[in-house]
Amino acid sequence: MHPPHSPASGTGPPPNSACPLYSGESPPPVPLTGQENLAELRERYGSAAPVELEPGVRAWLLLGYQENLEALRNTRSFSNDPRKWSLRREGHIPPDSPLRYVAQHLPQAATNDGEVHRRLRSPVAAALRRLDEETLQARVQYLADLHIDAFSGRGHAELVEEYGSALPAAVLNWIIGVSDDERAPDIAATDPQSSDRATAHEQLRTVTQYFTELARRKRDSPGHDLVSQLVAHESNLSDTEVAHSLTMLVTSGHGTTSALIGNALYRVLTDADLRSALFDFQLRVDDLVEQTLWNDPPQRSWLGRYAREDLRFGSADIRAGDGIVIGFAAAHSDPTATGSGESAAGLGSATNRAHLSWGAGAHQCPGQHLAWHIATTGISALLRRLPDTRLGTSPARIRRSGLLNGRGLLELPVTFTPVAASRSGGKTPPSTPETAQYAPRGGVSAPFAAMVARWRRRR
């Protein structure tokens, strides 16, 4: 076993050392809790800090924008395959550790490299690209209104559970092809952030089993849905591969989109200037989402890369098999990212799409446009329908996930003036997309300003 450059002794870096890995000694690791002061870590360690994921389990947290971008793009030096992680390979991760859940090798694109990765990713990316933007927009709008109707009349809601989590789950069920009357497993329950780990692990197995059976059914009776697209793809995925690809899509897509909605709404509810900019047409929801991806990304950090070789990387001497934690929040706050000494997150972030929240390179998120549509449409619908929404508790009492790979708020209680339900005129969109609607159309969601203007005219 060799934790990241960790000899038996060593007292850490000398004061004001820009490069702490000196004289063969290793700096002390910093417990990774999600509450790190990134500026202090960057000053102390440079572009990469040794961290402790749990007692005795070390990795490197990348702090620089360029280093994070390089680790995401460089598949020659960094692997996505958890079997490359020396601590796991050599049996140093306890059987009950949550890291076994975070870093497990599965027959899906996110945990494979090279040709295997390309074969498993290609069907998912192709099917998501063929989703018609206008049909998707209409369905998300309908589902957003449906979920708002469930609580709009009572004057209070818990937006993480009742909206931020529920809306992406409903959209994903529709895309996958789960009929409205089918008893499908609860996608939201697979996220250990929203339930205990044992429940999340069991629910994940249940979801995968359900998708395996669904893939078998779609082979016999294909429809106009994503599962049928995966089954028919030339990559010839097995039912097991289809199931795990779907599980990857719903677990990563649901959690990330839910956190994006929650984080963006929290910013609106706690930043009076931002709220005024939205309602005075100075800022669109599209821009709000981009700002949130910079300033409060859905994932603060992510254990998802493993060194293939010994290398000097930024300020760190990384060894083959070391775990690499991608620091999204760290990268976005790196003062060197803009070349001007300013925080990348604070310089034109409303229109700057250079954030790393969707990843980069061969493993970049294939469903980012789906998450973007759900978030922008969902946020717009809520603010249009309930414009006086306000936080139901003090910001200091809002709990956030402390898990590695944690995705944001655990709760967002709000109050508002009760309003009557409005179920999109009683019209229900089709439960699944039609074949002709699987074609790129390039549509985008309506700007928030136009939605507010229509609401004001109705008033």
Q: Hey, what are 431's tokens?
A: 């439960």
367 contacts 128 by C-beta, under 8 angstroms: yes
Pick the closest to residue 306 from 98, 101, 89 (CA basis). 89
3-state secondary structure of 317: strand
pLDDT for 24 beyond 70: no
Per-residue pLDDT, 452: 38
pLDDT for 23 beyond 50: no
329 contacts 63 by C-beta, under 8 angstroms: no
Percent of the residues in the chain that have a pLDDT greater than 90, as a whole number: 63
Pick the closest to residue 279 from 131, 66, 449, 75 (CA basis). 449
Between 166-175, 299-308, 422-431, the lowest mean confidence (pLDDT) is in 422-431
Residue 439 DSSP code: S
At what angle are helices 133-152 and 368-385 packed, to 10 degrees?
40
Calculate mean pLDDT across residues 411-437: 68
Name the phi and psi angles at 396, rounded to 5: -65, -20
Using pLDDT thresholds of 50, 70 and 90, give the confidence band for residue 121: very high
Using pLDDT thresholds of 50, 70 and 90, give the confidence band for residue 178: confident
Q: Considering the entire predicted model, what is its pTM?
A: 0.85
pLDDT for 2 beyond 50: no
Pick the closest to residue 232 from 244, 220, 249, 246 (CA basis). 220
Pick the closest to residue 137 from 454, 354, 441 (CA basis). 441
Calculate mean pLDDT across residues 365-377: 95
Percent of the residues in the chain that have a pLDDT greater than 70, as a whole number: 78
pLDDT for 9 beyond 50: no
Name the phi and psi angles at 318, rounded to 5: -95, 140
Cα gap 330→64, rounded to integer Å:
7
CA distances from 326 to 45, 72, 266, 389 (A): 16, 8, 24, 35
109 contacts 124 by C-beta, under 8 angstroms: yes
**Count of Cβ atoms closer than 10 Å to residue 341 Cβ:** 7
The mean pLDDT value of the chain amounts to: 83
**From the CA atom positions of the chain, what is the Rg in Å?**
22
Per-residue pLDDT, 100: 82
The answer to whether domain 30-458 has CATH 3.40.50.10440 is: no
pLDDT tens across 299-315, in order? 899 999 999 999 999 88
pLDDT for 428 beyond 70: no
Q: Which residue has the higher pLDDT, 438 or 150?
A: 150
Cα-to-chain-centroid distance, residue 408: 9
Cα gap 223→283, rounded to integer Å:
40
Q: Which amino acid is at 380?
A: S
314 contacts 67 by C-beta, under 8 angstroms: yes
Strands 390-391 and 323-327: unpaired
Per domain, the residue ranges of the chain are: 30-458
Using pLDDT thresholds of 50, 70 and 90, give the confidence band for residue 163: very high
Strands lying side by side in the sheet with 78-79: 30-31, 48-54, 57-62, 323-327, 301-307, 78-79
pLDDT for 176 beyond 70: yes
